[in-house]
Structures are given as structure tokens and as C-alpha cells.
Chains A and B, each alone.
Chain A
């Protein structure tokens, strides 16, 4: 049997540990919720950007072809040559949609990874706060949530660098083997 002062000290330490754990749980829960909210917003914005870009590109391409057909019907040689040169130059810049589309697809994949991590984090925090009969180390539900959380982190870590290195629509290099 421990002396009265030691028992009081143990109780204080235990109370402090509970307070720290509660505080940490609240903080992680709040961070997880914020992460989840922002990831969802970013996910929708990226999807919206993809749609807008695809729509704009389609309309640009249609206009491009329409201008080309209209030009073919013109009988003004000099003007036609100038417009043809401009259309040819535009072919380089219209390729931006492919580059941006690839970038958006990579970012969407990355945000999907973040979203999954935030969902798994919330589930883990809920499982940590749930009343249990087993000690935490032996709780099968908690172990399952931890595993799912670690898998989500691994999936996020596997998101590689984007293949698109270009920062403008200047022409790329040519190498003949």
C-alpha cells in the first residue's frame, strides 16, 4: 500500500494525462475536420476546373476549325496567307489544354489521397474516443482503424511528381535518335 502523498501524486498525474489526451483528441479531431472540409472543397473546385477547361477547349477548337473553313472560302490570297500563319502558330498554344488537363488530373489524385487520409483520421479519432472494455492495444476496431489510416497515408505518399514540367506554352525540345 502506497503512502497517502504518493497516491495523491499518482491521481494528479493520471488526471493530467487524461486532460492532455482529451486536449490532443480535440485538436486532432478539429484538424481532421478542417482537412476534410478543405479537401472536399478543393476536390469539387478541381472537378469544376476540369469541366470548364474541357468546355472552353472544345469551343476554342470548334472556333479554330470554323475560322479555317471560313478562310478556305475567301478569295483574298494575301490575307488568307497571314491568317493561315496565325492559325498555324495557334496550334502550339492550343496544346495547353493537354498540359493543364494532365496537371489537374495529378492534382485531383493528390487531393483524393488527402481526402481519404482526413476521412480515416476522423474515423480513427472517433474509435479512440469510443468507450471500450479491452485495453486500447487489444481493441480490434481501433486496430482496424489504425491500419486503414496507415494505408491511406501510404496511398497519399505514393502520389508521385507530375509529368508536366512546363510552366508556359513555349515549344519543347526535339531529339532524333
Chain B
């Protein structure tokens, strides 16, 4: 079933690659350039999944996860962190904030689609 996915990353290359892969699997995509932009777009659209970078200007990914989890409509929506960070301390912080999973860049397009289907089932 087609899902509406919000992708949040300050890198245009990552946003465009995510959009290409997600659209090729039949999903619809909304793009945001940073955490603040992501939060505003999440408030304006009820999305089925959020995929966000961690290190971004204005608002980082973990802060975005906390802000979304504070909203009743995003309590149970899956949120994946897609980042270059792979330190366990950072992952623990993401888990505590309420993230659904942690993906390290660069992502494998086939595995990404599998994960998207698994967490939005």
C-alpha cells in the first residue's frame, strides 16, 4: 500500500536519492531541508513515515524525533534516523527519543524499501 513519507535532510543529494527510491517503490514523498522544516511539514501533513538525518542546521534529527513524539498524531508513526553517525551513544539517544530505527549512510536502496515496508506494515 502506498505511504506518504517525509524525508528530512540538509543534503539535496540524499533527499533526491531517497525520493527516487521511495517513489520507485510506489510511495509518495514530501521533502524537508532541516528539522524545523520537517516539523512544519509534519504538522501540515499526516505522514505515514518520517526518515530524518541527525546532524542538520536549525534542528537536528533527535530533537525532531522528540518534537514529533510530543504530538498526539505522531506518537506511533515510525521515525527512522538515516545518518553518518554510528556511535552507540548516539544510537541510544535516538532510541530514548523514540526513534524506530537507525540507518547508517549510505543506504542500500533495496534494504531501505524492505525496512520501509516492515515499519509501515
Contact = CB atoms under 8 A, between A and B. Distances in A.
A95 B14 contact: yes
B20 A172 contact: no
Interface string B22-62: 00100000000000000000000000000000010000000
Nearest to A103: B84
Contacts of B12: 61
A102 B104 contact: no
B95 interface: yes
B86 A165 contact: yes
B101 A175 contact: yes
A84 B109 CA distance: 12
B91 A175 contact: yes
A95 B109 contact: no
Q: How large is the interface on B (under 10, 10 to 19, 20 to 34, 35 or more residues)?
A: 20 to 34
Given A172-B104, A177-B101, A98 B14 contact: yes
Interface string A88-114: 110111111111011000000000000
A68 B104 CA distance: 26
A174 interface: yes
A91 B20 contact: yes
22 contacts: A57-B13, A61-B12, A84-B24, A88-B24, A94-B17, A95-B13, A98-B9, A101-B11, A164-B84, A166-B84, A166-B106, A171-B107, A172-B106, A173-B86, A173-B104, A174-B101, A174-B103, A174-B115, A175-B91, A175-B101, A176-B100, A177-B102
Contacts of B107: 92, 95, 171-172
Contacts, number: 96
A159 B109 CA distance: 33
A166 B107 CA distance: 12
A163 B118 contact: no
Contacts of A89: 109
Contacts of B11: 97-98, 101
B116 to A, nearest CB: 11
A168 B118 CA distance: 27
A92 B115 contact: no
B113 to A, nearest CB: 9
